[in-house]
């Protein structure tokens, strides 16, 4: 009978790939705290668009902020 004791050698796991799309929050510039969530590709510039804010009942500019 042959018994082989091999010491445990830790190895590094490969890093996981990052997502191709980011989930971002579009926050109202009217200061109401209302927001939309959208997806955008990681390589594209930050989003900024006119959308409807129901709290002020008009279209206002929404700018991208981080999704928490």
The fold adopted by the segment(s) 21-65 is: Rubrerythrin, domain 2 (2.20.28)
Q: Where are the domains of the chain?
A: 21-65
Q: Specify the pTM.
A: 0.71
SS3 state at 8: coil
Instruction: Give residue 14's pLDDT.
Output: 82
Predicted confidence (pLDDT) per residue in 45-67, tens digit: 999 999 999 999 999 999 999 87
Report the DSSP beta bridge partners of residue 61.
50
Q: In angstroms, rounded to a whole number, what is the distance separating the alpha carbons of residues 36 and 31?
A: 14
Average pLDDT over residues 6-35: 86
Residues 6+ apart with CB under 8 A from 53: 28, 30, 32, 34, 59, 60, 62
Average pLDDT over residues 11-25: 87
């Amino acid at each position: 009978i042959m018994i082989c004791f091999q010491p445990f050698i830790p190895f590094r796991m490969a890093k996981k790939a990052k997502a191709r799309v980011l989930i971002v929050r579009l926050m109202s510039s009217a200061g109401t705290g209302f927001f939309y969530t959208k997806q955008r590709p990681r390589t594209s510039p930050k989003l900024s668009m006119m959308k409807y804010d129901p709290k002020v009942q008009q279209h206002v500019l929404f700018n991208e902020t981080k999704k928490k």
